[in-house]
Structure 1
Amino acid sequence: MNAARPVIADRYAPRAIGTAAAWQLGGWRFKNYRLAADGKLDDFTAIEAAARRTAEAVLPELDATAHHGVGFAILHRGEEGIWLLLNWWLSGGICAGLLWRAPVDEPDRWERPDGFERVERPLLACVWELSPIAFERDAWVDTVMNGGSVDDYLARTYSRRTC
């Protein structure tokens, strides 16, 4: 007998997305995305500073992988939290990633060194974050995995304004 499945109440609405200057952290380079459920992409300064500190703190973990020294970061101010997705490319065409979250209602949090809390449970990304992830996959395949350089990959930019 099949159990009744819950009705999904979520409805899709496009969200604002933009890019910002790439992060240069140690020997790493990360493309930088910003997503906002409220449509406001211009007030990420404090959030981005906390995200950079978080990323810098895990560079030794990333350095221990078979990496190319390049990836992308997604900062997403959503309805249920502020998310940081840090993704990097490994040998073999593998995209690795780490995920952090912070509450949306604690603006003073960004002044603390632990602004984001690492998410250990099995999560990948939401439907909005999957759009730039898909773009990055295609950019990696079209450039590095077809004989191009990491600089060619970094030059590929996401041009959509909503996702």
Structure 2
Amino acid sequence: MSVAEPRRIVLFRHAKADWPQVSDHERPLAERGRKDAAVAGRRLADTGIPFDLALCSTATRTRETWKLAVHELSHRPKTIYEERVYEASPGELIAVLNELPDDARNVILIGHNPGVHGLADILAGSAEADARERMNRRGFPAAGYAVLTYDGPWKGLEPAVATLTDYWAPSE
């Protein structure tokens, strides 16, 4: 990959979770969530983005979402299960991304709302076509994802430096 190519960041919200009598962190995916996670994985595969790294919340529903989605990709990236992604604010997520090694060009973060939606909105200084309008109209539902591009080192990632290039969510 040439130095001139931008970094790509995919912010992927976990799929629909069930509500059994367990702690929030241990909530599993609902049946619909399992289906949507696989569909999201196929859509991610269609983007052609060769992910170098996945950062996944340690919550059960995010780990299950990623397991189903990554199965659809042609290349399985290195996955780091990061406790700090669970219930993180956009600022906390930026701090996690700022620590990434610069040889990671294409990163997917599997997390939770409202942090994931807030981060997409905060990072996107600009957007292509109607991506921002579609993202904000839908409210970033479960199994949705946003694709952003960014030129610069990870430690320089901050509000308004990225471009929102795509947004997708399963139909309800």
Q: TM-score range by the shorter chain?
A: under 0.3
Q: Which has the higher strand share?
A: 1
The TM-score with structure 2 as length reference comes to 0.25
Structure with the larger RCO, 1 or 2 (CA within 8 Å, 6+ apart): 2
Q: Which has the higher helix share?
A: 2
